[in-house]
A and B are shown apart, each in its own frame.
Chain A
Amino acid sequence: MNYSFDFASVTNNLGPLVKGLVVTLQLTAAANLMGLTLGFVLALLIMSRCSVIRLPAMLFVEFFRCTPAIVQIVWFFYCVPMLFNVFLGSMTMGILALGFNLTAFNAEAYRAAIQNVPREQLDAGIALGLNPFQRVLYIILPTAFRASIPVLLTNGIVIFQQSALVAIVAVQDLMYQGKTLATETYRPIETFTIIALVYFAVSFPVTQIVGYLERRRQLLMS
């Protein structure tokens, strides 16, 4: 292979890439805000004893878990405006698609953590005279929230990576700017290598933090 690398074509055009990264980070932050809050509400609905509440919530989760994210994004982008007659900017649509996806996955993380609070902890709460509301507030939620942090972080960083998919519906994120730059400079190898490294540089520290938190948690549980 006698390809001569020329990273200057990328480094001379960092402006759009930085702009793209900012958009990607905005998408990630907004989707995570949705996912962390709505996910918790959805988890409560999934655990409802009333099937009229529980079943639609479960269907919502299963829809997002059992279809590819790219299909969800495309479906959102083309079908929602036609079906419901709402026209929102591409950025808003991107946030909503990613946010609902993350909501579904985080709901499962919250649910698992809440249901994994050991039965003995609740027995102790009853023995100490705490009422059901106090048991939820002082025992279940603090324990469950701590237990769910590694999964929530992992889901959050997965959404950061999945956000690259919204480039296909013209959201001007890092991936979109990269594609444009690669086309303009005829330097796809250099451009996409840099793009990959940027995604890696953001994700890697987070996965390391998750690993650390899980090791620490295992120590605390033993």
Chain B
Amino acid sequence: MTLPMMTPLVKVDGLHKSYGPLIPVLKGLDIEMKPGERLVVIGPRGGGKSTLLRVMMGLEKIDSGSITFGGKPYISSDGYDRKTLIDNNVRRSIGMVFQHYTLFPHLNVLQNLILAPCKVRGDKKADATERARALLKRFGLDAKANAYPAQLSGGQKQRVAIARALMLDPKLMLFDEVTSALDPELVGEVEQVILQLAKQDMPMMIVTHDMWFAKNIASRVIFCAGGVVVEDGPPEQVLGSPKEERTKDFIDRVFHIRQ
């Protein structure tokens, strides 16, 4: 990362978004993320966590507010005709992994990995294949290069999905509840891969309900509820001894601790 230390990697300013005229989801979200940070977003369902990530990926329109990436404008809204302006070049430096396996079922693992590098960036097929094989090897999937998604377990599919996103050398990774749909026994192998990325200082934004994982990976935790940031701080604070009543309530319930 060649950015000066003080320029935030991501700066979300007054983000508003509603689904239709009646269902507001984000009600003025402000988040600043420094380079190298691993931001974990926790909170109740419907609190806007996943929507925030989808907006970050450019998958949703916004009502108002703006997002900058590495100091450059990325997403903004044109107040007059409610248009959302997204800089596609910036978008390409962000990778995302979803809750439901989104591997393309008609392509095998290797083809899933090289599709975007070859078609979007114009990489040579041989080069992309070589990089894909290296990545698969790192994730313990080299034996599955020619398998189709239907032949993989949920954990393997998610690891392939992570590898696929990494093929484009993202400067920020978004993980949207990537272990929620998995069998409990497969959660570990996926989290290991993400922890491995964390060791290499990959900036990431993670939405999760797994508090153990949150504690292990976060450099900062944000508690999001009702479409706003309720609490924002280091993991020891937000997960251990939250200052806000609303956060405390949530953390207590999640850990089943009633005092």
Are the C-beta atoms of A138 and B98 separated by less than 8 Å? no
Closest to A139 in B: B104
Check B205 for interface membership: any CB of A closer than 8 A.
Answer: no
| Contact present for B150 and A128 (CB under 8 Å) | no
Interface contact B98-A120, CB-CB below 8 Å: yes
Q: List residues 193-212 of chain B with CB under 8 A from any CB of chain A.
A: none
Chain B residues within 8 Å of A130, by CB? 115-116, 119-120
Q: Output the least CB separation between B113 and chain A (Å).
A: 10
Residues of A within 8 A of B148 (CB): 220
Q: Mark A119-135, 1 if CB is under 8 A from B, else 0.
A: 01101101111110010
Residue pair A138, B105 in contact (C-beta under 8 Å)? no
CA distance A139 to B148 in the complex (A): 15
CA distance A126 to B88 in the complex (A): 10
Interface residues of B in 92-127 (CB under 8 A from A): 92, 94-96, 98, 100, 102-106, 115-116, 119-120
Q: Hey, which chain A residues are within 8 Å of B119, CB to CB?
A: 130, 134, 138
Given A219-B150, A220-B150, A221-B150, check contact A127 B59 (CB 8 Å).
yes
| A2–B129 CA distance with the chains assembled, in angstroms | 75
- A143 interfacial contact with B, CB 8 Å: yes
Q: What is the CA–CA distance of A127 and B57 in the complex, to the nearest angstrom?
A: 6
* Total number of B residues with any Cβ neighbor in A under 8 Å: 27
Main SS class of interface, A: helix
Q: Return B225 CB to nearest CB of chain A, in Å.
A: 24
Knowing A138-B119, A221-B150 are in contact, say whether A127-B95 is a contact too (CB < 8 A): yes
Interface residues of A in 114-158 (CB under 8 A from B): 120-121, 123-124, 126-131, 134, 138-139, 142-143, 146
Q: Does the CB pair B102–A121 fall under 8 Å?
A: yes
Nearest B residue (CB) for A146: B106
Q: Is B168 an interface residue (CB 8 A)?
A: yes
Docked Cα-Cα span, A126 to B165, in Å, equals 11
Give Cα distance in the complex from A219 to B151, angstroms.
10
Q: Answer yes or no: B164 CB below 8 A from chain A CBs.
A: yes
B106 and A127: CB pair below 8 A? no
Bound-complex Cα distance A23 to B3 (A): 74
User: Which residues from chain A contact B115 at a C-beta distance below 8 Å?
Assistant: 128, 130, 138
Distance, CA A126 to CA B56, complexed state (A): 12
Please, how many angstroms separate the alpha-carbon atoms of A142 and B105 in the complex? 10
Q: Give A179 to B250 CA distance when docked, in angstroms.
A: 79
| Chain A, residue nearest B57 (CB) | A127
Q: Which residues of chain A come closer than 8 Å to B91, judged between CB atoms?
A: 129
Structural contact, A124 and B102, CB atoms closer than 8 A: yes
The distance in angstroms between the C-alpha atoms of A215 and B92, with both chains bound, is 38
Closest 5 CB pairs of A and B: A124-B102, A128-B116, A127-B96, A220-B150, A129-B120
Please give the residue numbers on chain A whose beta carbons come within 8 Å of chain B beta carbons, in ascending order: 120-121, 123-124, 126-131, 134, 138-139, 142-143, 146, 219-222
Could you give 5 example pairs across A and B, Cβ below 8 Å?
A: A121-B102, A124-B161, A128-B168, A142-B106, A222-B150
* 15 more A-B residue pairs beyond the given contacts A123-B59, A129-B120, with a C-beta to C-beta distance below 8 A: A123-B57, A123-B98, A124-B98, A126-B58, A127-B95, A127-B98, A128-B116, A128-B164, A128-B168, A130-B119, A134-B120, A138-B104, A138-B119, A139-B104, A222-B150
